[in-house]
Amino acid sequence: MKERIKDLLLGFGLLAVGVVALLTIRIPVQQTRISSGAKLTYATLPKIYSWILILLVCLYMAKVVFAIWKDRAAEKRPIGGDEPKESAPEIAYSSQKVILLRTIGTVIIVLAYVLLLEHLHFFILTILFLFVLFFVYGQRSILKITAVSICGGTVFYILFIHILKLPI
């Protein structure tokens, strides 16, 4: 049931995308610089895509709602009826809370890395980035992660700055 609800939520999200696209494409942002007598204007295809997306998502959500209704009907059946089949759980080696924290942590750390790239030296920042991520991902030997972070940072620095001469 939880999975169906998640499908429905994603459906609502996609529906919102389609509706917003349809509404915002109508707003005349600026006058067209090149006028033409063409049947297809700048807004035609985005409108078509938006409508098709809305239609497809409605179909998708209708299927999900139907599946939820079937699951509920199956739950209400007397004992001895067919049990709704649950898909096999995926193998995970950490708890759900840890996985969620690591996922959020990854996004925040990557954002921080990028925002600080213009303020801190690439070498120092990369070492810090690696160190923090190794720790977030469950490595606990401080000596080991410090060593790997410094080696990794050095390799990246030499590779990107000295060999490839990229403007970081």
Question: Interface residues for another protein in 40-59 (CB under 8 A)?
Answer: 40-43, 45-46, 49-50, 52-53, 56-57, 59
Q: Does 158 bind another protein (CB under 8 A)?
A: no
The region that residue 138 occupies, defined by phi over 0 for left and psi between -120 and 50 for alpha, beta otherwise, is left
SS3 22: helix
Nearer to another protein, 56 or 79 (CB): 56
Positive or negative, the CA dihedral 11, 13, 15, 18 is negative
Measured N-to-C along each axis, helices 122-136 and 142-157 cross at an angle, to the nearest 10 degrees, of: 140
16 binds another protein (CB under 8 A): no
Q: Is 161 in the site for another protein (CB under 8 A)?
A: no
Q: Taking CB under 8 A as the rule, does residue 68 contact another protein?
A: no
Per CB under 8 A, the list member of 29, 79, 88, 143 interacting with another protein is: 29
The C-alpha atoms of residue 134 and residue 119 are separated, in whole angstroms, by: 23
Residues of this chain, 69-88, that bind another protein according to CB under 8 A: none
